[in-house]
A and B are shown apart, each in its own frame.
Chain A
Amino acid sequence: MGYLLDSIRSMGTTLRNFFRPPTTAQFPKVIRPRAERLRSSFALLHEENGDEACIGCLQCEKICPSQVISIDGPDKRESPITGKKRGYAKDFTLDLSACIFCELCVQVCPTDAIVMTKEQELPAFAREDLVLTMAKLYANEKGKHRAWSDATKLNEMQTPPKPPKPAAPAAPATPAAPATPAAPQTPAAPQTPAAPQTPAPSASPSASASPGAETAKTPEEPGKP
């Protein structure tokens, strides 16, 4: 009878799986290896010279779709390291319990200040512990494994590769450039994007070619940054 044979076949399948090793990784004794690019929590970084990288430009606060970032700033004062006047964030709070981990805040940061970390587990005993204060964010810089991405890498990845012809004017898509020039720009002038986008002369099928697109943009001059 069909039922009998098919039942035997099903039971054979389960028996075959009985002898396979189980796929369970008994957390927390065994931490399953995650991908290189895993993104979970956040950290705020310092620059190499010890200064805080965050300039309080509020771009991450504006781009966050869930509005979990609240920044008190920008606070223009003299840097204790370089002596120059620059913006700071007086207070920076990120509510991890409401974050949707979309990585947009990392992408828009002009100074690579906010990055994501690669933690396996994010549990806490109280809701308050999930609200990342500025202190916790700077503590994560040293205490947690950094995730792969920061604004520079993401922008580099998303920028079309330069064409091989050398006629492109001196507008290197050097991503390290945007740190200083973005600093004096006030957040009220959102028209100029940050430097890493290659300007129009390259053959990239970028939006600046289409007429109706970003109306606020003008084709930038190459030497802008």
Chain B
Amino acid sequence: MQNGFVHGSVWGVVICTVVMTTTAFALWFERKFAGRMQSRIGPNIVGPLGLLQPFSDVLKLLQKEDIVPEKADRTLFNIAPPLGAICALGAAAVIPFSPAVLAADLDVGVLYILAIGALSVMPVFIAGWASNNKFALLGGMRAIAQSVSYEVPLVLAAMVPVIMAGSMKVSDIVNYQGTHHWFVTWPFFLGVPALLLFMLAMLAESNRIPFDIPEAESELVAGVTTEYTGMKFGMFYMAEYVHTLVASAIAAALFFGGWDGPFAPGLHWMVAKTLGIFVFVYWMRWSLLRFRSDQLMKLCWKWLVPGGVALVAATGVWVNFVK
């Protein structure tokens, strides 16, 4: 894969567009899915089966008044939403959607993904601080604590496929799984716990239930996005979905073999796996209650981090002595 500027930017634009469009339909799908789980029908008025609902939501957000609180820090307030969107989309650059579709095949792909994930803490905190709103500030504080803490299990879990495949290039990892087994199937005693850890950490990074305390509607009105209106709120909202979608794609690439499949490997497998994980994340969202801040932190530092360290050590042993 060439790492040329033109190649990267063309594919980058394509991937961005595809990811955002998929987000719109993922939004629709989630609402129908959640509706059925709650004994009701989801959107079904706008467009056939309600398919145009996300677009009508976007149009609605676009035409809303853009209010900036008087004492808010204007520059920071305005920077935060697009920064959030950028950080969410940025990780999609190194994911191999198929052997041919890859925007930037970095040698340190996994590290880049983790770094972008860590960067996505910034817009949340900037929004919390710049809003000049106590609810937003509380949300921002919680978000920092949570995101920074859950970086550690995320890194540890992501190390398992890296160690097994021997490279940080995401395409190398996917190729390795193509020639050997998917990491969740073999060695499952390393792959499954690593996947579990990765999923939990990914949920916490994207502020999904059960870890959505920074934007807990019942406590903090809307958390960090309390003061945002119109398209800025739309950008935060969309960034959250994109983040989840991209993280599902990363999990599919790292643990489920990416575009590999029992027959006819290609883009469709990647899409199927991504959407499968995405559905699972949303299923979890609509079924579970949320953790309190300190319980969340306790879970991370008392259970996930030691578990992650043990897992990485076991992976090292496995790779060195057993293979």
Indicate yes or no for A touching B, C-beta below 8 A. Answer: yes
Q: State A46–B44 Cα separation when bound (angstroms).
A: 45
CB contacts between A and B, total, < 8 Å: 38
Residues of B in contact, count (CB < 8 Å): 15
Q: Nearest B residue to A13 by beta-carbon distance?
A: B287
- Minimum C-beta distance from A7 to chain B (A): 6
Q: For the complex, is A18 an interface residue (Cβ under 8 Å from B)?
A: yes
Inter-chain contact B40/A24, CB cutoff 8 Å: yes
Inter-chain contact A11/B41, CB cutoff 8 Å: no
Inter-chain contact B39/A14, CB cutoff 8 Å: no
Q: For the complex, is A22 an interface residue (Cβ under 8 Å from B)?
A: yes
Q: For the complex, is A15 an interface residue (Cβ under 8 Å from B)?
A: yes
Contacts A7-B288, A10-B288 given; does A17 touch B39 at CB 8 Å: yes
Option from A14, A22, A24 in Cβ contact (under 8 Å) with B286: A14
- Minimum C-beta distance from B37 to chain A (A): 4
Q: For the complex, is A20 an interface residue (Cβ under 8 Å from B)?
A: yes
Q: For the complex, is B60 an interface residue (Cβ under 8 Å from A)?
A: no
Inter-chain contact A14/B41, CB cutoff 8 Å: no
Inter-chain contact B41/A22, CB cutoff 8 Å: yes
Q: State A22–B286 Cα separation when bound (angstroms).
A: 16
Q: For the complex, is B49 an interface residue (Cβ under 8 Å from A)?
A: no
Option from B39, B40, B287 in Cβ contact (under 8 Å) with A11: B287
Most chain A CB inside 10 Å of its own CB: which residue of B33, B37, B44: B37
Contact residues of A: prevailing secondary structure:
helix
Q: For the complex, is A26 an interface residue (Cβ under 8 Å from B)?
A: yes
Q: For the complex, is A49 an interface residue (Cβ under 8 Å from B)?
A: no
Q: Nearest B residue to A26 by beta-carbon distance?
A: B41
Inter-chain contact B284/A23, CB cutoff 8 Å: no
Option from B39, B210, B283, B286 in Cβ contact (under 8 Å) with A23: B39
Q: State A26–B45 Cα separation when bound (angstroms).
A: 10
Inter-chain contact B39/A7, CB cutoff 8 Å: no
Most chain A CB inside 10 Å of its own CB: which residue of B33, B210, B287: B287
Q: For the complex, is B7 an interface residue (Cβ under 8 Å from A)?
A: no
Q: State A111–B40 Cα separation when bound (angstroms).
A: 46
Contacts A7-B284, A7-B288, A11-B284 given; does A23 touch B37 at CB 8 Å: no
Inter-chain contact A18/B37, CB cutoff 8 Å: yes
Chain B neighbourhood of A18, CB < 8 A: 33, 36-37
Q: Nearest A residue to B33 by beta-carbon distance?
A: A18
- Minimum C-beta distance from A152 to chain B (A): 42
Chain A neighbourhood of B287, CB < 8 A: 7, 10-11, 13-14
Inter-chain contact B288/A22, CB cutoff 8 Å: no
Pick 22 A–B contacts, CB within 8 A, sort by A. A7-B210, A7-B288, A10-B287, A10-B288, A11-B284, A11-B287, A11-B288, A13-B287, A14-B283, A14-B286, A14-B287, A15-B37, A15-B283, A17-B39, A18-B33, A18-B36, A18-B37, A22-B36, A22-B39, A23-B39, A24-B40, A26-B44
